[in-house]
Amino acid sequence: MTITLHKNDLPADVSFGDSVAVDTETLGLSLTRDPLCLVQLSAGDGNAHLVQMDRATYDCPNLKAVLGDPGVQKIFHFARFDVAMVKTYLGVTMTPLYCTKIASKLVRTYTDRHGLKDLTRELIGKDMSKQQQSSDWGADTLSQAQQAYAASDVLYLHQLRDKLNIMLEREGRMELAQACFDFLPTRCALDLAGWAETDIFAHA
């Protein structure tokens, strides 16, 4: 495994093929308060690229080009948060999307444990450490432990997608999953517009 940390932007010659695993690190979990600090990417080849944001400008044209490429599927775990963060701070609306958490909830109905750590342990037999989950991602220098944690969040998403797709096909829920993935940009727009906690489909 190779972890490469980039300051401010990706190099122009980095390619991820037709699908890229993506995650973000922020100063907290508020879409309106906590800034985007780090974007992690992987081609599913066991290597990870980490882009530490220049929070004064968020000037990262190469990263934006990858995230905005309609020919590249972006794979997330809990895409709802990351997609909204990228839209807010980088101005990029990402499509097409795949969310392993949504897929898990649609097919792993035998459990209520849909976190990335649980999903990775069950489906591909890998144990992930969440020790650095709550740490200062806005620091000028990221520790080796922080970098390893950040990388782990994208290294297995391609494998998880492939395993979950088999289950979705088996249960006849692939079309439903795809419809959910397609709706994600709208769900994020609702979150950012103030309807994060309101179910607009509910009767009440």
Check: CB of residue 66 under 8 Å from CB of residue 177: no
The first and second tokens of residue 163, run together, are 């395993």
pLDDT tens, N- to C-terminus, the chain (204 residues): 899 999 999 999 999 999 999 999 999 999 999 999 999 999 999 999 999 999 999 999 999 999 999 999 999 999 999 999 999 999 999 999 999 999 999 999 999 999 999 999 999 999 987 665 678 999 999 999 999 999 999 999 999 999 999 999 999 999 999 999 999 999 999 999 999 999 999 998
How does DSSP assign 106-131, residue by residue? HH-TT-S--SHHHHHHHHH------T
Fold annotation for 3-129+145-195: Nucleotidyltransferase; domain 5 (3.30.420)
Side-chain-side CA neighbours of residue 54 (13 Å):
12
State the residue for tokens 């922020």.
26
DSSP notation for 20-35: EEEEEEESSS-TTTSP
* 70 to 19, 49, 57, 127, 158: CA distances (angstroms): 10, 20, 24, 32, 18
* Residue matched to tokens 């929070």: 55
- What pLDDT, on the 0 to 100 scale, is given for residue 126? 92
pTM of the model: 0.95
